[in-house]
Structure 1
Amino acid sequence: MRTALTSLTLRGRCLVAAGATLLGLGALLGERPLVQIAVFVLALPLVSAVAVARQRFRVGVRRTVSPSRVPRGQDAEVLLEVTNADRRTGRLWLLSEHLPPELGRSPSFVVERLPAAATAGMRYRVAGARRGRFRLGPLRLRLVDPFGLVQRTTSGTDGAPLVVVPRVRPLGPGGPGGGHGGGGEGARRSIAVHGEDDVSTRAYRHGDDLRKVHWRATARTGELMVRLEERPWRAQAALLLDTRTRAHLLTRAAGPGPVAGGAVPGPPGDPTPPQDSLEWLVEAAASIGTALARRGAALRVVTTAGELTPTAPDGGRAAPAARAALGPGELLDRLATLGPGRGTGLGPAAELLHRVAGEGPVVALLGAVGPDDLTELVAARSGPSADVAVLLDVASWSDPGARSKRGLSATARAALAAQLEQSATLLRGAGWQVVVADSSRTVEAVWGDLAPASAGVRGGGVLGVPA
């Protein structure tokens, strides 16, 4: 009786209420026909509940997700195949597929009288509006009687994975060392020559290691000079990602599609722009990291929460450096679930970067940072100007129409602009190439502004910032 009552639909509950009312009126007025009608009305939902409860079925479910790894902003198609594994013909089945809220509404299907051993194929699409690892399913099946009075619901345990990875933008031949051949494991840039008298030197910059001071050249020129050593060019590269919550303006993830309450600021012509500065940073890391890895670089990725490392398919027999290097596919898989962290400064990340980056070039993707945040980073990366910094103008993601966690006043915007200018000046003085990115700029445009390291800083100033 308890199962029957809990299985009643809204129509069934209304019918039971009507039957109870008729029964009460018939007993009160002494009208036997009303009592007879009430008994019939009350018996109908109970008979339907017993009939539905006695139904036996065996269902097989199979999902095919194409593709199983989809870039953010694109859709994936799912083929849902339901097989009647019973020897009897199925009745009326109402099917609904459980989906995470980020992928859109859960689709529903109706399958009626599916023959034994027959398969019904149904297709639906999911919108990969947000990065992450998701699971499609399980399938929920509802059995309903012909009158719609009683339903029985059961859920399976099956499911299929779907990974929404960052978009990889097609980058041109710019960037550090871009457009100079394929590179590879043996590609190196020779800066120093053999012999103490012929060693290459340059002027001392803030943050340089004093142990590299070349005293003979200093005495000859009257200016503090440091020694340039041979450094690998494309054999190794590193990315530094500033994922601190305090360094970004983050939107509220309230479901698939654009941010509720207004349009997301972005470059013209982009139908699915990054919804906040962190998403832009992740997309830039995916695009730049993929480009460097395809050029033959052993890529290491450091975030403010630690290093991103791949799984070891060889069981951990490879060298530690080789195990930590990320390929293009592994990079996208790790970035798919990368979120904001609770770090307060860049010190731990700079120390880790100093250990893993070696002598290869570094591309630092930084949020709202000040000169105090950059002190340890500059000290950890002294030497020739092979490193690149992309500074995000996070204030541009707080334009009207984008609902962010925290708004920006005019005073806050001015403070962020001044901090951005100071940080760019500090990095330029330490020999870094610098480019500023805001919500209206694409990753391709920023990459094109990065001159090869051999070309130096374009125009004698900071790329994207007036000198």
Structure 2
Amino acid sequence: MARGPVGAALASLTVRGRCMVAVGLTLLGLGALLGELPLLQVAVFVLALPLLSALGVARRRFRLSTRRTVTPTRVPRGGTADVLLEVTNADRRAGGLWLLTEPLPVELGPEPTYVLERLAAGTTAALHYRASGSRRGRYRLGPLRLRLVDPFGLVTRSVTGTDAAELLVVPRVRPLAAAGPAAGVGGNGEGARRSIAVHGEDDVSTRAYRHGDDLRKVHWRATARTGELMVRLEERPWRSSATLLLDTRARAHLIAPSGTPAAAAGEGPGDSLEWLVEAAACIGTALTARGAALRVLTDAGELPATDPRRGLAADELLDRLAVLQPSRRADLSGLAELTARAGGDGPVVALLGAVGAADVAPLTRARTGPGAGLAVLVDVGGYAATTGGARARRSSSEAARSALAQQREEAVVLLRDAGWRVVVARAGAPVEEAWAALTSTGVPA
């Protein structure tokens, strides 16, 4: 609802201005009641001062231009970005008393404030601040909020700009041990290439002609021998593959509210979903470094790659994970279907939240390739003490934690019986520790 002139005037008063109005009204009432002319004169003066200040602030004209330079525009969780905010007085007159505030999400730290007084016409003021990314995501910096204040501090006027900049906070990547499954089958994982052709014209590999094949590849000798049109199979490159499965269901995690101390400390991830996303970033980066064509499947769908044949590159993987949100899916059936369609002959690494035997059963049937199957199950109950109760997805009672642990053990047994290597990641454990246990020669515990 739009405010009238009186409402707008009252809204522009500071605490000091409201006190002045209250004092003026009190003096006015006492002067009228007692018939004291001096009290009435003082009351008029006290009431007129905020009014004149409001008129002066309302009539004040200004022209500002702002420019932001964010360095870098993409930081890992726990990292900081330097922001240069250039404020230019584009008016022909000097500015008055300006209070500037740069609105920031709570995940990037406190909002910086500045005071500029009498900025000369055409002059630029360079303002600096740092944004610390305590939680992954895409954040908006700005727009700048300007407050004009009269010399007595009685009236303020706020104006918000339209310009803004973005900062992307990606999951933090820690180096993992060199041990682990090599992407692909029987290869060294270093971008292996496989040749389908054989040496010699007589023994060249052929297949039946299909509609759309290039006629220049027709093998006439094989065609004459078999009586049907045959085409030559030439040498082609082959990239090793690897698949990451992510359980992003909201019901399978304890999700901490934004700005909690655990998330803002810059140490470990603040909840089970953040731990899972950071593990996906570390493991996926390690697999792409070995030459794997990486695919990342979630219960809500596949993370798209710019070039599906080459898979997700390391930077592309981090960008996708930075904005990944929890899903509303009830089970992992959709993830199992995607896994079955994806196929592939490389390793499959599943990163799972709170699961039971019924949740992982579809995954054991979906993995049909010869690649290794590895699973990391997050101890979701262990995050109950750090995520708080307001937005916790599960009860933190001992009975609920025991039930979660029992379901998890059933899932572990089922996965191991299906040939998977399994490890349970305790709450707050480094990703390197879980990966080392998963890829060690002994039985993971």
Please tell me the TM-score bracket, short chain as reference: 0.7 to 0.9
Aligned position for 1:154: 159
- Return the alpha-carbon distance in structure 2 between the equivalents of residues 177 and 58 of structure 1: 61
Q: 1:36 to 1:419 in 2, by over 3 A?
A: closer
Aligned position for 1:186: 193
| Aligned-partner residue type, residue 305 of structure 1 | A
- Deviation for aligned residue 1:389: 1.3
Aligned position for 1:384: 370
Note the 1:73-88 alignment, pairs <5 A. Answer: 73-88=78-93
Aligned position for 2:388: 403
Q: 1:8 to 1:418 in 2, by over 3 A?
A: closer
Q: 1:416 to 1:35 in 2, by over 3 A?
A: closer
Contact 2:176 2:432 in 1 (8 A): yes
Which of the residues 321, 330, 354 maps onto 2:316?
A: 330
Contact 2:271 2:383 in 1 (8 A): yes
Aligned position for 1:266: none
- Return the alpha-carbon distance in structure 2 between the equivalents of residues 14 and 336 of structure 1: 48
Contact 1:61 1:83 in 2 (8 A): yes
Residue deviations 1:9-48 (CA, integer Å, cap 9, x gap): 2212221222222233333333222222222222222221
Contact 1:184 1:235 in 2 (8 A): yes
Which of the residues 249, 258, 264 maps onto 2:254?
A: 249
Aligned position for 2:437: 449
Contact 2:78 2:134 in 1 (8 A): yes
Which of the residues 377, 394, 408 maps onto 2:380?
A: 394
Aligned position for 2:294: 299
Residue 120 of structure 2 corresponds to residue 115 of structure 1: yes
Aligned position for 2:277: 282
Contact 1:97 1:139 in 2 (8 A): yes
Contact 2:108 2:133 in 1 (8 A): yes
Q: 1:285 to 1:417 in 2, by over 3 A?
A: same
Residue deviations 1:225-276 (CA, integer Å, cap 9, x gap): xxxxxxx99611110001112222222x14254269xxxxxxxxx9521112
Aligned position for 1:359: 345
- Return the alpha-carbon distance in structure 2 between the equivalents of residues 28 and 355 of structure 1: 88
Which of the residues 260, 269, 272 maps onto 2:267?
A: 272
- Deviation for aligned residue 1:281: 0.6
Aligned position for 2:405: 417
TM-score (ref. length: structure 2): 0.82
Residue deviations 1:296-338 (CA, integer Å, cap 9, x gap): 211111001111114x4xxxxx6xx338x21111111111121
Residue 97 of structure 2 corresponds to residue 92 of structure 1: yes
Aligned position for 1:463: 444
- Return the alpha-carbon distance in structure 2 between the equivalents of residues 90 and 64 of structure 1: 24
- Return the alpha-carbon distance in structure 2 between the equivalents of residues 441 and 23 of structure 1: 69
Aligned position for 1:258: 262
- Deviation for aligned residue 1:181: 5.3
Aligned position for 2:12: 7
- Return the alpha-carbon distance in structure 2 between the equivalents of residues 29 and 417 of structure 1: 79
Residue deviations 1:109-149 (CA, integer Å, cap 9, x gap): 10011111111112222221112111011111111111111
| Aligned-partner residue type, residue 183 of structure 1 | E
Residue deviations 1:383-427 (CA, integer Å, cap 9, x gap): 5351211122222223x4552523344443333333333322222
TM-score (ref. length: structure 1): 0.78
- Return the alpha-carbon distance in structure 1 between the equivalents of residues 401 and 261 of structure 2: 28
Aligned position for 1:228: none
- Deviation for aligned residue 1:55: 1.1
Q: 1:386 to 1:401 in 2, by over 3 A?
A: closer
3-state secondary structure, aligned to 1:436: strand
Note the 1:112-151 alignment, pairs <5 A. Answer: 112-151=117-156
Q: 1:407 to 1:116 in 2, by over 3 A?
A: same
Aligned position for 2:331: 345
Contact 2:346 2:371 in 1 (8 A): no
- Deviation for aligned residue 1:440: 4.4
Contact 1:176 1:388 in 2 (8 A): no
- Return the alpha-carbon distance in structure 2 between the equivalents of residues 368 and 169 of structure 1: 24
Aligned position for 2:59: 54
Note the 1:194-273 alignment, pairs <5 A. Answer: 235-251=240-256, 253-255=257-259, 257-258=261-262, 272-273=267-268
Residue deviations 1:148-202 (CA, integer Å, cap 9, x gap): 1111111101111011111111112022128x856105169xxxxxxxxxxxxxx
- Return the alpha-carbon distance in structure 2 between the equivalents of residues 6 and 275 of structure 1: 40
- Return the alpha-carbon distance in structure 2 between the equivalents of residues 248 and 96 of structure 1: 36
- Return the alpha-carbon distance in structure 1 between the equivalents of residues 180 and 238 of structure 2: 13
Q: 1:417 to 1:33 in 2, by over 3 A?
A: closer
| Aligned-partner residue type, residue 271 of structure 2 | D
Structure 2's unaligned 5+ residue stretches are: 196-236
Moved over 6 A (4+): none
- Return the alpha-carbon distance in structure 1 between the equivalents of residues 189 and 171 of structure 2: 25
Q: 1:237 to 1:345 in 2, by over 3 A?
A: same
- Deviation for aligned residue 1:86: 0.8
- Return the alpha-carbon distance in structure 1 between the equivalents of residues 12 and 241 of structure 2: 63
Structure with more relative contact order (C-alpha pairs < 8 Å, separation 6 or more): 1
3-state secondary structure, aligned to 2:309: helix
Contact 1:350 1:376 in 2 (8 A): yes
- Return the alpha-carbon distance in structure 1 between the equivalents of residues 238 and 347 of structure 2: 7
Larger mean CA deviation between 81-90 and 65-74 belongs to: 65-74
| Aligned-partner residue type, residue 347 of structure 2 | P
- Return the alpha-carbon distance in structure 2 between the equivalents of residues 143 and 426 of structure 1: 66
- Return the alpha-carbon distance in structure 2 between the equivalents of residues 22 and 107 of structure 1: 40
